[in-house]
Structure 1
Amino acid sequence: MQTKKYPFLKSRIYLRSLLRRHLSGDFLDYRQVIAIILPIMVDQAFVFGSNLINTAMISSTGVAAVSAVNMVDSINIFLVSVFVAVSTGGTVVVAQYKGRGDNAMVSKSAAGSVTSVFLFALVISTLFLVLHGPVLSVLFGTASPDVMANARIYFIGSCLSYCGIAAEESVCGALRGIGESRSALSLSLIMNLSYVGFNLLFINALHLGVLGMAISVNLSRYLGAACALFYLIRINLSLRFRWQDMFHVQFALAKRILFIGIPFAAEQMFFNGGKILTQIFIVGLGTYSIAVNAICNSVLGVIQIPGNALLLSIVTVVGQCIGYGSLKDAKKFIRNFLWISSASYIFTDILTIPILASMSVLFHAPAAILPTISLILFVNAIAQIPAWSLSFVLPSALRAAGDSKFTSIVSMLSMWLFRLGVGLLLGFVLKLGIAGFWFAMDAEWFVRGIIFLRRFRGNKWYAHHVID
């Protein structure tokens, strides 16, 4: 009687029943799962939204500037992904110990993750600061002089910032491992919103161009790192973090973190190495092709916000289920996350239509490249609905169960043998140019997705023992 009088109450009861059926298990209920997902989704919205705004701001200074930033960002993604991958290893270990209820090892795992990631970043930063000139010359020597000059400035600034983002990412990874996505969100917002603010000051107000962007990325990342460490040491109570543990990392614990992190880091190196090689070929297609690639990447980032949020969330959810010992719940959450992720792309594809309509204004894009951008984004929008989740969300779930080696090998081989090979065929042999490389990427999603789906239907992916 009450539900007939108040239809909204009936809908609320139905929604709660639906959530309980699909997003609840023995260890986690739907409230906890949603509390993990929503902050990460907001975080991803700000991350990719800020990237879109930053790309638009640097685009206002000319095609050479946006081309230089896009070229260097392909290297940045390659390098930053290495220590972010190690951070993912820490997230998995923290999540599994959390699922078991071993709070002492949760704290030590978090400390070990922060130390490992920071040291990786320090080595990478030092190495590429020394080799920045030869690296740019070898990779992008065919670029025009004005593009190369801007690229050199931005690359030096990026290298200086690596330790800052490493500290921030490792802390956020540990927090996500115990399900404190809201705290990780707050720290990420500090870094990303300050980045936009600094860019407004140094690019738009002071007209420093690429130099202003390099200054901004350092100020924002080290501000984020300072806030992350302060929160972890002085405010957070869940992790019981002690700064002394950062200097006394146990070998056995580091081994567990690296068991997940190193294969993933190798995957990211080979995967993003393929992207850099692709970028080299794109540079050879001309400055307009570089600009097309940069703009499409920025728009794609916005479309993939829900998918990336689920990709990060599933590591915590599946990791805690495996640590608790509930394989049934792990499988249930994986299946439902895949359906939700695929459905989200229908929604985000529709939302990006206004972006396509205002492309020339938002990115100061020349009219000559607008048809190519529209074609790439249209094909991409269709392909990612069935393929992206299987290609990215599913391997994250497998990795959370300890199946890191298999997922890394598949990702590396598919990148080099399929995406790059087919990209060269379509881009140069069949004369499709930059669009050919993007179509090859879409096709590779289907190949990876089929392989990972077959793995999930077997029993080898959960036969690993990450923690004792």
Structure 2
Amino acid sequence: MDESCDKKTIRDIVLKTAGPVLVEVFLGTLFGMVDMMMLGRIDDPTEAAASIAAVGITNQLVFIALSLVQSLNVGATAMVARYVGAKKEDRIESVVRHVVLLTQILLVLPIFILGLKYTDQIMKFIGAHEDTLMYGRNYFKIIVVGIIFQAFNFSIYAVLRGAGDTKTPMSINLKVNTLNVVGNALLIYGLLGFPRLGVTGAAISTTFSQFVATLMLLRYIFKKDTIIQINLKNKFKFNKDIIYNLVKIGVPASLEQIAFRVGILIFVRMVSSLGTVAYATHQICLNISGLTFTPGQAFGIAASSLVGRSLGADDPDRAEEYIKTSRRIGTVIAIAIGILFFFFGSFVASLYTKDPKVIAQATKILKIIAIMQPFQSSQLVISGGLRGAGDTVWTLIAIFFSVLVVRVALAHLFINILGLGLLGAWYAMFCDQFVRWALITLRFKTDKWKYISIR
């Protein structure tokens, strides 16, 4: 096969793998944007701002919980991809059992207990003001319950993607996200005879949707003709090799996420000190910027699976080509989204709020987000490829330095010393993404990630 034909084959495989993930992540983000728009359109402006702030505050805990879950899942994805590449599919069931059990016992249970027992203290620590507490307390508690289902779902999705099945997660996510949006409309505003519950209604709808996804996944994994089928007749036994792999890959990934979330928490506290309206503006911009992460996330997930399978089949050069192709396509899409935000930012912001000050500020921030795109997308894709190879130590170093040092230090400088307000916070975010891109690209070029072994 000549080189041009081989590159076309690689591009086709990347698009086939990443396509469903891109649709899933893009529409999931879009549905999340619609949720935030619904809260922003609540008639009482005080309730609307406090509701948006409550979602932002709660998301910090949810992101910490799910990031830690994802850390173990990184090991599951890498292992399953390697086993598929090496034709050892019989080991997959054991990986599923281990990763689900460990995430629920070690991560979800402590967060569930602490989240329900210390709701107010956690929300205040993250930066909630009294108005946010008043409207957001019940939202926080209901979402904490939903983490049980979300964590399970994330674990199964990770295994499916490692095996190369990106269509099943897409199909399930599209159904439950649609259910969530409909449920939000009914329960936030009290439509069709449902009670008007505001932000609490959004929490009920989100948690119920995750529960439905769990039921759909359980039905799927108990089928007899799927690659990750579970047979309850088989007794569960702890496997030292699987535990070793999960620890070797998952611990650095967990530390990476802890470093990232600690940095974000410090950053969020600085932003929340600017007041509820500024924080709500920040949340709107974060919500919009979620759309810009979709190409990097989708092609990063594809790279992770394809790299793992290539290394399992002892073909490191093909693994490298998968990362390069994924990065190229993901960056082109990210730049296109960036152009949209740069020139039509005020229109996008006006979908969330009628406040002219918020729209003006958000428009400036969206220009920063637009310029950030090539660096953000590139580092997300390469990081995904490195994790698929099991190289999670270097991504830990990159995150630790760029978020905990660069972002936090520059945010303090721009917000507290130079008085640049919310814009200063986003300048710091831009610098973080640029430094992370440089560090991750440097690691990729060393080729050391090609020679990481797993049992």
Q: Report TM bin, short chain.
A: over 0.9
2:227 is aligned, of 230, 238, 244, to 238
Q: What amino acid sits opposite 2:151 in the alignment? A: A
Alignment partner, residue 44 of structure 1 = 25
Alignment partner, residue 81 of structure 1 = 67
Structure 1 residue 436 corresponds to structure 2 residue 424: yes
Find the aligned partners of 2:314 and 2:177 in 1 and give their Cα distance: 37
Of stretches 343-352 and 452-461 in structure 1, the one that deviates more from structure 2 is 343-352
Cα contact 2:300–2:380 (8 A) shared by 1: yes
Cα contact 2:31–2:177 (8 A) shared by 1: yes
How much does 1:353 deviate?
6.2
Alignment partner, residue 101 of structure 1 = 87
Cα separation, partners in 2 of 1:235 and 1:373, compared to 1, 3 Å: farther
Structure 1 residue 133 corresponds to structure 2 residue 120: yes
Find the aligned partners of 1:314 and 1:391 in 2 and give their Cα distance: 12
Deviations 1:402-447 (A, max 9, x none): 2112211221222111011111111221111111111111111111
Q: What amino acid sits opposite 1:462 in the alignment? A: K
Q: How does 1:375-390 map to 2 (within 5 A)?
A: 375-385=364-374, 387-390=375-378
Deviations 1:238-276 (A, max 9, x none): 223324568434232122123222221221122022112
- SS of corresponding position for 2:351: helix
Alignment partner, residue 45 of structure 2 = none
Cα separation, partners in 2 of 1:360 and 1:124, compared to 1, 3 Å: closer
Cα contact 2:338–2:369 (8 A) shared by 1: no
Cα contact 2:403–2:432 (8 A) shared by 1: yes
1:114 is aligned, of 97, 100, 105, to 100
Q: What amino acid sits opposite 2:73 in the alignment? A: S
How much does 1:37 deviate?
0.9
Structure 1 residue 410 corresponds to structure 2 residue 398: yes
Find the aligned partners of 1:103 and 1:443 in 2 and give their Cα distance: 43
Find the aligned partners of 1:438 and 1:444 in 2 and give their Cα distance: 10
2:167 is aligned, of 178, 182, 185, to 182
Cα contact 1:111–1:243 (8 A) shared by 2: no
Find the aligned partners of 2:265 and 2:8 in 1 and give their Cα distance: 38
Find the aligned partners of 2:255 and 2:413 in 1 and give their Cα distance: 26
Unaligned runs of 5+ in 1: 1-16
Structure 1 residue 397 corresponds to structure 2 residue 385: yes
- SS of corresponding position for 1:285: coil
- SS of corresponding position for 1:363: coil
Alignment partner, residue 156 of structure 1 = 141
Q: What amino acid sits opposite 2:182 in the alignment? A: G
Find the aligned partners of 1:136 and 1:273 in 2 and give their Cα distance: 15
Cα separation, partners in 2 of 1:138 and 1:325, compared to 1, 3 Å: same
Structure 1 residue 54 corresponds to structure 2 residue 35: yes
How much does 1:360 deviate?
5.5
Deviations 1:316-336 (A, max 9, x none): 011111111101001111122
How much does 1:228 deviate?
0.8
Alignment partner, residue 278 of structure 1 = 267
Structure 1 residue 216 corresponds to structure 2 residue 205: yes
Deviations 1:125-158 (A, max 9, x none): 22322222221233325x2x22122232221111
Cα contact 1:23–1:333 (8 A) shared by 2: no
Alignment partner, residue 4 of structure 1 = none
Q: What amino acid sits opposite 2:210 in the alignment? A: R
Q: What amino acid sits opposite 1:261 in the alignment? A: G
1:369 is aligned, of 333, 358, 363, to 358
Of stretches 283-292 and 358-367 in structure 1, the one that deviates more from structure 2 is 358-367
Find the aligned partners of 2:29 and 2:225 in 1 and give their Cα distance: 27
- Per the normalisation by structure 1, the TM-score is 0.90
Cα separation, partners in 2 of 1:244 and 1:417, compared to 1, 3 Å: farther
Alignment partner, residue 452 of structure 2 = 464
Q: What amino acid sits opposite 1:81 in the alignment? A: S
Alignment partner, residue 186 of structure 2 = 201
Alignment partner, residue 218 of structure 2 = 229
Alignment partner, residue 262 of structure 1 = 251
Cα contact 1:43–1:188 (8 A) shared by 2: yes
Of stretches 120-129 and 206-215 in structure 1, the one that deviates more from structure 2 is 120-129
Report the number of matched residues: 444
How much does 1:460 deviate?
2.5
Alignment partner, residue 292 of structure 2 = 303
Q: CA RMSD in A?
A: 2.1
Structure 1 residue 172 corresponds to structure 2 residue 157: yes
Cα contact 2:271–2:422 (8 A) shared by 1: yes
Find the aligned partners of 2:18 and 2:49 in 1 and give their Cα distance: 37
Cα contact 2:41–2:353 (8 A) shared by 1: yes
Find the aligned partners of 2:448 and 2:15 in 1 and give their Cα distance: 29
Alignment partner, residue 328 of structure 2 = 339
1:421 is aligned, of 399, 409, 424, to 409
Find the aligned partners of 1:378 and 1:454 in 2 and give their Cα distance: 27
Find the aligned partners of 1:352 and 1:459 in 2 and give their Cα distance: 35
Find the aligned partners of 2:386 and 2:53 in 1 and give their Cα distance: 36
How much does 1:235 deviate?
5.7
Find the aligned partners of 2:149 and 2:344 in 1 and give their Cα distance: 32
Find the aligned partners of 1:165 and 1:23 in 2 and give their Cα distance: 37
Structure 1 residue 454 corresponds to structure 2 residue 439: no
Of stretches 82-91 and 50-59 in structure 1, the one that deviates more from structure 2 is 82-91
Q: What amino acid sits opposite 1:455 in the alignment? A: R
Q: What amino acid sits opposite 2:219 in the alignment? A: F
Q: What amino acid sits opposite 1:413 in the alignment? A: F
2:241 is aligned, of 243, 248, 252, to 252
Find the aligned partners of 2:445 and 2:132 in 1 and give their Cα distance: 48
Q: What amino acid sits opposite 1:190 in the alignment? A: K
Find the aligned partners of 1:129 and 1:311 in 2 and give their Cα distance: 34
Cα separation, partners in 2 of 1:32 and 1:427, compared to 1, 3 Å: same
Identity %: 24
Cα separation, partners in 2 of 1:30 and 1:448, compared to 1, 3 Å: closer
Unaligned runs of 5+ in 2: 43-47
